[in-house]
Structure 1
Amino acid sequence: MLYFNLNGVIGEKTNDQSFYKNVIGEYCSPLTDYTYQFERSLINLEHLIQKNVYGTMEAYWDVSRVLYPLQEIGLSSESKFSVNDFESLVNAKLPESTFKYLYLNEIGYLISNVQSVVNSILQVLGSFFEEFNDQLLAVLPVDGYRVVSSPRITALISKLNSVIISLGSLLDYAAKLVYEVENLRVSFSSYQKLECYKHDIKHGKRKLLRLNELSGSLFESESSSLTFLKEMRNKIIHDGFLDVNPQVYELRENGELKERFILLPDLNSSGKFEKHGSRSNFYSHETKLNIEIINLVKEIFERFGKTVEELLKLVK
């Protein structure tokens, strides 16, 4: 089996986090185990919320069999209803069970978005490493160290940027989900937006969460990894890239590729970029982003898993 390794050299597995493709073309690595764990936990969470709102799962399924056509209106391209159609529907005098069902649809949609973000992170990361391992990524191989920049490398590094932005989205989705679970609705006399959207909950408003500062969760203010993620996300959003020139370094010996890497600007102990004046791209630590991104994803996933565990306890 061919592995897409973190050092950019395709072939035998060189790291316990290397990626490979399965028989249906999905990118896999040990990180993939988290997706199965999250899927089970989030399904359990959704079922517990449904039971909490309807009293029993049987009651929920009885209503669901009748109201199933409503679940995708305004949430999915599978529904062709207009906003005016939906407004007319929810402004009509509807039974409480229908408003409950619409509410649970929207929580389910929030949970589904979380699962999609997690899957997207892993698949884009796998795609990045497959191309990062391409022997023809840098043409005209030259022995020794060299730096390579090209339109293809710019597009390649954009994949890493996408992963970092999606990790930031996971923080925001987690904050929304926690707030909603902590404030589950008890009155269903009318249609209302989710509480997390009423209060525009994002990770930056984590102080509104009862789980704020929970050890090992996504809401610890002293976590250098969470600070690091936010620093990178903000730099990408405002500056476009982490480096002024998207580029890859590689080492060859006798024409054979030995290593590729992307340098990450220096960080201080709190996870923030080292800065002086207008300058924030210092590289004295020679930190490799292609390695650090795996460590960061792993920690964020572990913290997300801890967060979901606590949500399950809250709903039970």
Structure 2
Amino acid sequence: MLFFNLNGVVGEKNNDQSFYKNLMGEYFSLLTEYTYQFEKQLINLEHSIQKCVFGKMEAYWEASKVLYSLQEIGLSSESKLSVQDFESIVIKNLPENTLKYLYVNEIGYLISNVQNVVNSIIQILGSFFEEFNDQLLVIPAVDGCRVVSSPRITALISKLNSVIISLGSLLDYAAKLVYEIENLRVSFSSYQKLECYKKDIKHGKRNLLRLNELRGSLFESDSPSLTFLKEIRNRIIHDGFLDVNPQLYEFRENGDVKERFILLPDLNQSGKFEKCGSRSNFYSRDTKLNIEIINLTKETFERFGKTVDELLKLIK
């Protein structure tokens, strides 16, 4: 089995966080364990919400049998109904159970989005490291250490950018989910949007959450890692790339790749980029983004797991 290693050298596993691919083309690493953990947590969370809103699970399942056709409207491409079609349904004086079903269905959509974001992060990382380990990524092969840029490397680094943006999306989804559960609806006289959308909740509004500043969660304001994540996400969204030229460094010996890395600009102790005037790309510490992206993903996942644990306690 081939392992795609964090240092860009394909072959035998040289790190617990190395990636590999199965016959179906799915990528796996130590990070994959978090997806199994989150799946259990989020299923339990969704069932707890359904039970809380309907009083008992049997009542939810009975409503689901009758109202299942409403599940995809406005949320999935599986439904071909228009917004006008949906408005004509919800404008009516609907039974309470129908309004409850629509409500828990929309929270379930939020939870499903979270699962999709987590899964996509791991698959994109796996795809990145497979190509990062490709001996033919940099041609011609030249011994020694050199910096290289090319259209292929630009596209490759874009995958890391996508992972960082998705990790930022996880922060926003978590904030929405927490706010909705902390303000779970008790009155169902009409169809309304979720409370988190009424308040336009994002991670930047975490001060509105009762879980704000919970140690080990996604809402600690003094966490250098979370500050770094938001900093790097904003840099990518507004500037496109971290460096003026998307590039990587490669060291070869006798034609074989010994190491590849992508440099990350210097950070201060709070997790922000070191800046002086208009300059914020200082590289005095040789910090490697291909290593730090795994550390950042791991910590974000751990904090997300802690956050969901607290939500389960809250709703029970």
TM-score by length of 2: 1.00
- Count of residues paired in the alignment: 316
Query: What root-mean-square deviation, in Å, do the aligned CA atoms of Structure 1 and Structure 2 show?
Result: 0.5
What's 2:246 paired with? 246
CA drift at 1:25: 1.4
Q: Distance in 2 between matches of 1:32 and 1:219?
A: 23
Equivalent residues in 2 for 1:272-291, closer than 5 Å: 272-291=272-291
Q: Distance in 1 between matches of 2:137 and 2:280?
A: 28
Equivalent residues in 2 for 1:1-316, closer than 5 Å: 1-316=1-316
CA drift at 1:94: 1.0
CA drift at 1:13: 0.4
Q: Distance in 2 between matches of 1:252 and 1:23?
A: 30
SS in 2 for 1:107: helix
Q: Distance in 2 between matches of 1:193 and 1:180?
A: 11
SS in 1 for 2:145: strand
Letter of the aligned partner of 1:214 in structure 2? Answer: L
Which segments of 5 or more consecutive residues in structure 1 lack a partner in the other structure?
A: none
Deviations 1:122-157 (A, max 9, x none): 000000000000000000111110011000000000
Q: Distance in 2 between matches of 1:82 and 1:273?
A: 46
Letter of the aligned partner of 2:97 in structure 1? Answer: S
Q: Distance in 1 between matches of 2:105 and 2:31?
A: 29
Q: Distance in 2 between matches of 1:28 and 1:48?
A: 30
Q: Distance in 1 between matches of 2:167 and 2:186?
A: 32
SS in 2 for 1:260: strand
Q: Distance in 1 between matches of 2:132 and 2:310?
A: 37
Q: List 4+ stretches of structure 1 deviating above 3 A.
A: none
SS in 2 for 1:191: coil
CA drift at 1:255: 1.1
Q: Distance in 1 between matches of 2:144 and 2:60?
A: 65
Q: Distance in 1 between matches of 2:93 and 2:220?
A: 44
CA drift at 1:23: 2.8
Q: Distance in 2 between matches of 1:26 and 1:125?
A: 11
Which segments of 5 or more consecutive residues in structure 2 lack a partner in the other structure?
A: none
Q: Distance in 2 between matches of 1:203 and 1:94?
A: 34
TM-score by length of 1: 1.00
Q: Distance in 1 between matches of 2:16 and 2:220?
A: 28
Deviations 1:165-222 (A, max 9, x none): 0000000000000000000000001000000000000000000000000000000000
SS in 2 for 1:283: coil
